[in-house]
């Protein structure tokens, strides 16, 4: 299903590049509606947890020091660009790419 959606988006993107701005806007709204329909269909399955529910089940990661470096995964092909996260606040800091939470581990 995901590969079909990606092929459709790629086809629509090439159409957007070759057409006038009016047609491009119309095609872009068509792609947006198709993505919305796909998302709505995915959200109807209540037996599965959403990605955010799954990521929130992971407890905050304790880090020694004031800065956390998040890459999303140890495998670069599965991760995201490195993000350095400041941990000066009391509440957990959240990675903007993957949603992992980090807290400073205070050793007293």
Kindly give, in sequence order, each residue whose CB lies less than 8 Å from that of residue 61, ignoring residues fewer than 6 positions away.
68, 100, 101, 102, 103
DSSP structure class, residue 91: S
Model confidence at 100: pLDDT above 70: yes
Phi, psi for residue 3 in degrees, rounded to 5: -65, -35
Phi, psi for residue 49 in degrees, rounded to 5: -85, 150
**Higher pLDDT pick, 41 / 22:** 41
Q: According to the CATH classification, is domain 51-104 in 1.10.10? A: no
The pLDDT, as a whole number, for residue 28 is 57
- Cβ atoms of 86 and 93 within 8 Å: the answer is yes
Find the helix or strand (DSSP H, E) in which 51 lies.
Answer: helix 51-56
**pLDDT, tens only, 56-93:** 899 999 999 999 999 988 887 888 999 999 999 989 99
Instruction: Say what the pTM is.
Output: 0.56
- Domain ranges across the chain: 2-44, 51-104
């Amino acid at each position: 299903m995901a590969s079909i959606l990606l092929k459709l988006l790629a086809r629509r993107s090439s159409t957007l590049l070759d057409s006038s701005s009016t047609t491009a806007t119309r095609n872009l709204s068509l792609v947006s509606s198709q993505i919305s329909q796909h998302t709505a269909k995915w959200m109807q399955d209540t037996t599965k947890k959403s990605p955010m529910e799954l990521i929130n089940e992971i407890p905050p990661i304790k880090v020694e020091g004031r800065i956390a470096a998040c890459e999303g995964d140890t495998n670069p092909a599965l991760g995201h660009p490195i993000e350095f996260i400041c941990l000066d606040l009391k509440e957990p800091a959240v990675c903007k790419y993957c949603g992992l939470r980090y807290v400073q581990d205070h050793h007293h």
